[in-house]
Amino acid sequence: MVRDGYRFAFPLFVVSVGLLSLRQTVWAAAVGLLTAFVCWFFRNPHRTIPQGAGLIVSPADGRIVQILELKAPGEEVPAARQVSIFMNIFNVHVNRAPVAGRLESLEYRRGRFKAAFEEEASRVNEQNVITIRSQETTVLVKQIAGLIARRVVCWKRPGEALERGEVIGLIRFGSRVDLVVPMGTHILVREGERVKGGSSVIGELV
């Protein structure tokens, strides 16, 4: 379980024990089940990280809802590709570094809380924009808040070195993560495909 889960699980556990000591077995069981759900929700399962030069792994668990080309303002030629991953409440909620490198910048952007599966959520919703520079390239990871998920958390800070697949943050409680990669990246996933953070290969630098 990731560290953010303890602030929710421990108080619930204490309440459950207290209710049990008062012989309120039904309520104790209910709170105990809620405690178990919180521990499950904040789980951080082991992942086998793919090895190989130029591989970009998924930053999150979920379903690929969109793959599109991005153009710089005033430009006609696409400059990057964006892969959007929708995380529902049942997915693992930790986010991972898609490449090994250095966290170059972390920008928090205030915004709205539209449903994360909507296309404009990437532009208008509250989000963290994480820039990671590797030896080969620079990628962006956007942790995007949603209708229910109102909290995006990045545990890393600018200047820190990251390993491919390393846990970097968390989104509570389900939402969306956008991965922005160079235009020349060979994308290996399709819309509708389910991916796992740290172990599914999203693309390969060519």
* Catalytic (active-site) positions: 175
Sign, CA dihedral 30-6-8-150, equals negative
Q: What are the tokens at 20?
A: 């049990």
User: Computed over its alpha carbons, how large is the radius of gyration of the chain?
Assistant: 19
CB 143 within 8 A of CB 121: no
Q: 152 — phi, psi (to 5°)?
A: -110, 130
**What's the DSSP call for residue 108?**
E
Report the distance separating Cα 152 and Cα 144, nearest Å.
Answer: 7
Q: Which residues contact 183 (CB under 8 A, 6 or more apart)?
A: 69, 78, 79, 80, 81
Q: Which residues contact 162 (CB under 8 A, 6 or more apart)?
A: 97, 99, 100, 101, 102, 103, 132, 156, 168
Sign, CA dihedral 42-48-51-56, equals negative
